[in-house]
Amino acid sequence: MKRLNIHDIMAHKGKEPLVVLTAYTASNARLLDEYVDILLVGDSLGMVVYGMENTLAVTVPMMIAHGKAVVCSTKKALVVIDLPFGSFQASPAQACETSTSIIAATGCGAVKLEGGVEMAPTVKFLVERGIPVMGHIGLKPQSVNAMGGYRTQGKNEKDAQSLLEDAKAIELAGAFAIVIEGVVEAVAKDITAQLSIPTIGIGASPACDGQVLVIDDMLGAGGEYIPSFVKRYADVAGITKKAVSEYAKEVRARRFPSAEYCYPYKKN
């Protein structure tokens, strides 16, 4: 099977919506691969896998470890890996060094970075050096301290205009696609109409060219809090709790392992 590349993804513009999910582990990635176009090894792994309060302490070695697991266990989806906070903002050269180390170590097909107009020169620098880049505008979790929390973006005309400028700058810099996070519908719709690259929404309405969700959120596998834009497609936490409580009961009652789960003893 041929793995999807950035040109396959760009060809979706205005056609069938792109299906994107985050993946952090081999077991999840193996299950998701056949159903999605892109697997995003997002820095949300800091919160989802490591229980961090936000994404700011995620490191390049973490992204490489999880990125390798996802690439090794998949055949079809384009794998995109996030550049974590502090690994790319200082200069285009720093972003290039981080991106090349991630791509060389994992074999992923592209990197993603958060930022608008201010990051456009960095995106251009990477793209000109053969590094495919996915942009990420709107609610940027790595700017949580600057934003004063996770706030919906594009609520007034000035904000909407600056989001459109961000999107256009990232497109002009050569990004192959752009994530739009936590943005009001009319603004996401306008940006999607004005760009020639696919937009991938998360909390940004069906107007986008594709959708991305955090896998644990949509499976109901994570903690108590999930954002209001997430639809829970399963109750994995409930299923897990039921299975584990049954296992615990059976172990304590010496009902597990029963004979069929033991190696038989054969007399010669």
Q: From the candidates 34, 114, 157, 181, which is the catalytic residue? A: 181
Of 33, 37, 43, 171, the one binding ligand KIV by CB under 6 A: 43
Does 209 bind ligand KIV (CB under 6 A)? Our answer is no
Helix axis angle, 60-72 relative to 92-106, nearest 10°?
40
Please give the Cα distance from 9 to 75 (Å, whole number).
16
Give min distance, CB of 264 to ligand KIV, in A.
47
Of 22, 28, 98, 153, the one binding ligand KIV by CB under 6 A: 22
Does 212 bind ligand KIV (CB under 6 A)? Our answer is yes
Interacting span for ligand KIV (CB under 6 A) from 39-47, 83-91, 146-154, 219-227: 39-47
Give min distance, CB of 127 to ligand KIV, in A.
19
Of 205, 161, 178, the C-alpha closest to 119 is 178
Does 44 bind ligand KIV (CB under 6 A)? Our answer is yes
DSSP state of 180: E
Does 216 bind ligand KIV (CB under 6 A)? Our answer is no
Of 111, 202, 207, 208, the one binding ligand KIV by CB under 6 A: 202
Q: Is 199 helix (H, G, I), strand (E, B) or coil?
A: strand
Of 4, 6, 32, 42, the one binding ligand KIV by CB under 6 A: 42
How is residue 98 written in tokens? 């981080």
44-51 contacts, C-beta under 8 A, 24 or more apart:
44/141, 44/214, 46/84, 48/22, 48/24, 48/214, 48/215, 48/216, 48/222, 49/24, 49/25
Please give the Cα distance from 150 to 230 (Å, whole number).
15
Q: Is 244 helix (H, G, I), strand (E, B) or coil?
A: helix
Give the x/- contact pattern for ligand KIV in 121-160, rule: CB under 6 A: ---------------x------------------------
Which residues sit opposite 115 in a β-bridge?
136
Per the annotation, the verdict on 181 as an active-site residue is yes
Interacting span for ligand KIV (CB under 6 A) from 25-33, 38-46, 152-160, 245-253: 38-46
Of 4, 78, 110, 214, the one binding ligand KIV by CB under 6 A: 214
Please give the Cα distance from 43 to 46 (Å, whole number).
6
Q: Which residues bind ligand KIV (CB under 6 A)?
A: 22, 40, 42-44, 82, 136, 179, 181, 202, 212, 214
Which residues are known catalytic residues? 181
